[in-house]
Structure 1
Amino acid sequence: MNDNIQYTVFIYTENNIGLLNRISAIFQRRHINIESINSSASEIENVSKWTIVVELSEERIKKIIGQLEKQVEVIKAFYHTEDDIIYQESSIFKMRSALLFEERQIQNIIKESNARIVTVNREFFVIEKSGRKEEIDMLSRELSVFGIMQYTRSGRIAVTKDEMRISTMLREAFLHH
């Protein structure tokens, strides 16, 4: 039986060089595939927030959190199920401009998926879509029929549904760090 479920891991860290390698090594050593990874500023000055999506058992995620928190620069790490968070991903698609005029359906697809056109020129146009993974996957399937020139998507970005008082917790952890 497979007890693996998808977890979103938040890691709050000092902003140090080489940290990405050490964080990814923790997952790599345990043969855990990282589905998505994002690093950004957090609500606290000089503290970075890493958002990592992985699929594994709760027992294993707890061990990973322990390993992550042993890293000198890691202030605090948390894991959440999809029910605990509000998340978005972002994607952009580059398409041939001629499609906008030749294929009426393209405009309908863009409208129905709540995507938006961010740039248009003679050769190509670019569509941006933010939303849940499934929504982006669906738009990608619909557009691929017409030929996508380039496509990229961001890692997951997320916040918790509950208050979590992260700023207070981190400030305290940072002071004792």
Structure 2
Amino acid sequence: MEKEWFTISVYSENNVGLLNRISGIFLKRHINIESLNVSKSEIEGVSKFTIVVFTTPEWTRKIVGQIEKQIEVIKAFYHTDEETIYQESALFKIASDLLFDERQIQNIIKESNSQIVTVSRDFFVLAKSGRKEEIDEMHDLLEPYGIMQFVRSGRIAVSKTEMPISSILNGYYDYSK
């Protein structure tokens, strides 16, 4: 089977140690987590893990099955890139003199639809949101000029189709209280 990118969404109670157990599931199978984001979800009191992996559909199904066996996990879903709308964010710290001395830096900022977050005497910071490839491209364009610091977020994603998590939770919790 051919490997491809999958986004795994895990809805869970917010309990200590769950992230460690979930990452252990990937570790046992020698599958690298390419991106990880944990945040509150659209449902009060429920956390959402967004995990990106590059593996086969068969391994993805097995992993999601193992994740769902964790007692705090309410439901886990997986989607291909074509089935999701996703973004990442990145910050680039660059020497300030380049902003004024290198015309190409200004072109990169304009063409990449990035934003200048702050400017100081010694550095400026660019913010870029977009797909992984867009951020990689911007990194490659800025790298010859010297990147002082670089950080990127994990993927955030929503599925194109409805995920029935709310109706699943209504079966577990009585929200009328």
Alignment of 1:36-115 (within 5 A): 36-115=35-114
Identity score, percent: 63
Question: Deviation per CA, 1:90-127, whole angstroms, max 9, x where unpaired?
Answer: 00000011111111111110010010000001011000
Deviation at 1:19, TM superposition (A): 1.1
Give the partner amino acid of 1:59. Answer: E
The match for 1:145 is: 144
Give the partner amino acid of 1:55. Answer: F
Deviation at 1:26, TM superposition (A): 0.5
Deviation at 1:5, TM superposition (A): 1.2
The match for 1:19 is: 18
The match for 1:120 is: 119
The match for 1:130 is: 129
Deviation at 1:80, TM superposition (A): 0.2
Q: Tell me the distance in 2 between the aligned counterparts of 1:21 and 1:163.
A: 28
The match for 1:175 is: 173
Q: Tell me the distance in 2 between the aligned counterparts of 1:170 and 1:6.
A: 28
Preserved contact between residue 76 and residue 170 of structure 1 (Cα < 8 Å): no
Q: Tell me the distance in 2 between the aligned counterparts of 1:63 and 1:163.
A: 22
Deviation at 1:60, TM superposition (A): 1.3
Q: Which runs of 5+ in 1 are unaligned?
A: none
Deviation at 1:20, TM superposition (A): 1.1
**Aligned-pair RMSD on alpha carbons?**
1.3
Q: Which runs of 4+ in 1 moved over 6 A?
A: none
Deviation at 1:170, TM superposition (A): 3.3
Q: Tell me the distance in 2 between the aligned counterparts of 1:148 and 1:92.
A: 10
| Partner SS state of residue 70, structure 2 | coil
Give the partner amino acid of 1:107. Answer: Q
Preserved contact between residue 5 and residue 57 of structure 1 (Cα < 8 Å): yes
Give the partner amino acid of 1:33. Answer: N
What TM-score do the two structures reach when normalised by structure 2?
0.95
The match for 1:6 is: 5
Q: Which runs of 5+ in 2 are unaligned?
A: none
Q: Tell me the distance in 2 between the aligned counterparts of 1:42 and 1:171.
A: 15
Q: Tell me the distance in 2 between the aligned counterparts of 1:175 and 1:29.
A: 33
